[in-house]
Structure 1
Amino acid sequence: AELERLGVRFDLAVSQVNKNGIAAISTRVSLPTGPDVDEDEEDHVHCDECGHDHGHNEGHVHDHPHEHEHTHEHAHEHDHPHEHADGDTEADEESLVHGHGMEVEEILSILDRLTEPTRSKAKEMFEALVEVEARVHGTTVDSVHLHEAGAMDAIVEIVGAVKGLELLGVDRVVCGLVNTGTGFAKMAHGTYPVPAPATAELLKGIPIYMDSFAETRKELVTPTGALILSHLVDEFAPISMTVELVGYGAGKRDTAIPNVLRGFVGTSASAQAPKRLVLLESNIDNMNPELYGNLMEVLYTSGAVDVFFTPVQMKKNRPGTRVSVLGELHSKDVLVETLMRESTTLGVRVSYPERYEADREIVEVKTALGPARVKMARYGGETVNMSPEYESCRQLSAQSGVPLKQVYMLVYEAAQALVPPQQEAD
């Protein structure tokens, strides 16, 4: 239903096929005016203005021989051993590059027809893909024109991935190390090593490896696949889950390694799995104190999860400040650049800590003074903390004249009524 909202004419054929003895679902995208989007063409977005053509593109379903473990922190988990087994077959450059081009704004207007939260996430992902293509080819986003077939396939993949996770009730996505494959990829400008330039850009901050087995001496991750990894995966780590559902999606080619995507849905094996983040730190002793507030703001704007300052003693007995920035793995480069540009530091230390997180939910409770919002924290299925929201309580205090500390107590008592009696007894 969500794909129908796009209002664009395309056909999506779904059928069951057999891959090396495994029954899997095959999906193919085609346009009314042309043939099916070939697996050699479909997973790369072709830039008409840039004049490049990847002749080895993966299909509408992703077929990597590496395992993507999509874990939902406390409810469901997925594991995607996407097994891309492509060859280096050249695509028809005339049909790819010189066909009808689509403007970026045209594509964004199509995505505007979707419902939230799919719309915002899909637009964010497509904009990121176009920005990477423009950067790789040394042009501007406004100058990028995308081939219709490749663009439509990318749209369907992006929307399908985002909406699919939403429909499955995914709380958390975890992926293992990503196998990019090895070898070379043929493009309009020549032959390039795997991963392709746009793919390499999108894989920044993602742990990868390259094996050299004959069956995987090919491109195993394409730009659209890398885009999905960089925007939908919460953590790259081994899987730990109790499996409830297993599904298979099929690629087009027949290969020695089953050309399928495997997805698991299940429950986390542990009460709460840790999340791997990046921690950036710099010790500074020569910066104007007035600049620290702005530094914190721009770091949060750049994607930081947490920013904090710690007083430290530095060389020559100088008092200094340790700037600590916690962020998602894919945000590392932009956060490092922000630190270097917005502070006086000469270097940034990088580490990768794990963080256990409680699941958080904002609920509204009713009190004698009016409704108020409370943040509920749950860990392992149990409510472990309740925190009245400051702004909500402050407004009640201002309206009623009741001291803020008493409002907090009233709101907290109302929130306690939401905790199951058995848990309170425990």
Structure 2
Amino acid sequence: MKTLYFDCTFGIAGDRALAALIDLGADISYIVDHLRKLPIEPFGIEVHNRTNQGIAAKKISIFYQSEKNQHQSTHEISKIIAESELPVKTMECSLAIFHEFANAKGKLNGIDSNEVYFEIASIIEIIGFCLALESLEITEILASPVPAGFGHKMTVQGSYPIPAPTTLELLKGIPLAELNLKGELTTPTGAAILRALVKKFMPIGGLIVDKVGYGAGEKDHPNVLRALLISPSDIQPTPKTVTNQDRESIYILEAQLDDMTGEGLGFAMERLLAAGALDVFYTPVYMKKNRPGTLVTVLVSLNLADRCEQILLEETTTLGVRRSMWSRNILDRRFIEVETPYGPIKVKQACRGNKILHQAPEYEDVARAAREQQVAFQLVYQYAMKLAMSQMGE
């Protein structure tokens, strides 16, 4: 599992995010080869080395064979992605970003999200970014609070305040950082990436930095995005008393159904979890006229609630979704790996400070070892558990 951390000290944009991942080691040939298979305007991507305020970074330039930058609607883009040969995770990631972007812009413009149009440059940046994540084998993304900038920006519609209306809509629920720097620090594409994909916004403290990449923008002031590959620190935090400030706010989404197949419910759960839901579960209930039904419950972070709500409306037969905000007190989690006679097994540990309260071997590792070694699942599980327990006593 690889974790990416975006240090958004100077904001984030689509081109900076893609450039930072290329600087981090994403294979540009892999990205371009997949993009060229899509039925979009012929294009080229150049990667440059640029020094911005003393920081050596990568910068990308996108150019076209025709003089005019073509546009495509969200509906067309969704069709292109669905019918493409892109990796599955890249498809899901790209659709999630376009979905958030189109919803925000459609709401502001008073039009259906499927009627929102994107420039080819934005399409290439977003899909290219998701391909870069695939190339680096990123499984989760964290980020710092993000500054938006201030001032005004000229558009074809006239002068708009910064952050631009679409950017501000996308940044709802995301912690903003204060930076007294004039100009557009965070763009709509950058905000859509954060809203669609970031699991948690947090300071960098308590993590180990394994590798750093820098992506530069066009401006001369510090206009660099840092992308970090990180891993948990082995340093044990000092135990502390849990207060209300340590609690995490989440949304609970609920819908009751009485006319869906088990296969349909299974597919809906798969999409919700892929979209970043913290948990999804089904409860048997009795509805009007004593009809048996299913209560769908989704636990989701604040910034992904809109996305999961839309999936419920699209993938289930519900006519409406209830939403409520809850707070939860969660334990810190970490992984260790134990060497068993059947191969290495990861064990998840739940901690409060430096005290381990619960631990359990990871199902996928145990199941894989049991299949490969042709032994009982419980044998591998108990062996891994015994080794993990013995390490606690060391």
Matches of 1:101 and 1:186, distance apart in 2: 20
1:226 Cα deviation after fit: 0.5
Displacement of 1:13 in angstroms is: 0.6
**Aligned partners of 2:209, 2:362: CA distance in 1, in Å?**
34
The equivalent residue for 1:217 is 182
Q: Is 1:237 equivalent to 2:207 in the alignment?
A: no
- Is the alpha carbon distance of 1:327 and 1:276 closer, same or farther for their aligned partners in structure 2, counting shifts above 3 Å? farther
Q: Higher helix proportion, which one?
A: 2
Indicate the SS of the match to 1:267: strand
Which residue of structure 2 lines up, in the alignment, with residue 123 of structure 1?
95
Cα distance in 2 for partners of 1:259, 1:30 equals 21
Matches within 5 A, 1:164-203: 164-203=132-171
Judged with a 3 Å threshold, the aligned counterparts in structure 2 of structure 1 residues 271 and 31 are, in CA distance, closer, same or farther, namely farther
Larger Rg: 1
Q: Whole-Å Cα distance in 2 between the matches of residues 178 and 348 of structure 1? A: 26
1:32 and 1:220 mapped to 2: Cα distance? 29
Q: 1:4 aligns with which of 28, 33, 40?
A: 33
What are the within-5 Å matches in structure 2 for residues 37-186 of structure 1?
A: 100-111=70-81, 112-146=84-118, 150-151=119-120, 153-186=121-154
Question: Contact (CA 8 Å) 1:277, 1:327: kept in 2 or not?
Answer: no
- Is residue 229 of structure 2 the alignment partner of residue 261 of structure 1? no
Gaps of 5+ in 1: 35-94, 283-289, 310-323, 367-374, 393-408
Answer whether contact 1:194 1:219 (CA < 8 A) is retained: yes
Please report how far the alpha carbon of residue 182 of structure 1 lies from its aligned counterpart in structure 2 after TM superposition: 1.4
Q: What does the per-residue CA deviation read over 1:225-265, in whole Å, with 9 as the maximum and x for residues that have no partner?
A: 0011112211011113222222222212222xx32222222
Contact kept? 1:101, 1:145, Cα under 8 Å: yes
Deviations for 1:67-107, whole angstroms, at most 9, x for unmatched residues?
xxxxxxxxxxxxxxxxxxxxxxxxxxxx6xxx643233432
> How many residues align structurally?
303
The alpha-carbon distance between structure 1 residues 276 and 201, as it changes in their structure 2 partners (threshold 3 A), is farther
Question: 2:31 is aligned with what amino acid?
Answer: E
8 A Cα contact 2:251 2:324, kept in partner: yes
Match of 2:300 among 304, 327, 331: 327
Identity of aligned residues (%): 27
In structure 2, C-alpha distance between the alignment counterparts of 1:205 and 1:119, rounded to whole Å: 25
Give the match for residue 226 of structure 1: 191
Q: Deviations over 1:37-80 (max 9, x none)?
A: xxxxxxxxxxxxxxxxxxxxxxxxxxxxxxxxxxxxxxxxxxxx
Amino acid of the residue matched to residue 250 of structure 1? A
Q: Deviations over 1:97-144 (max 9, x none)?
A: xx6432334323443231221122212222332232222111123433
5+ residue gaps, structure 2, are 1-29, 238-245, 260-264, 283-296, 313-318, 351-355, 368-374
RMSD after superposition: 4.8
Taking structure 1 as the reference length, the TM-score comes to 0.56
| Length-normalised TM-score, structure 2 | 0.60
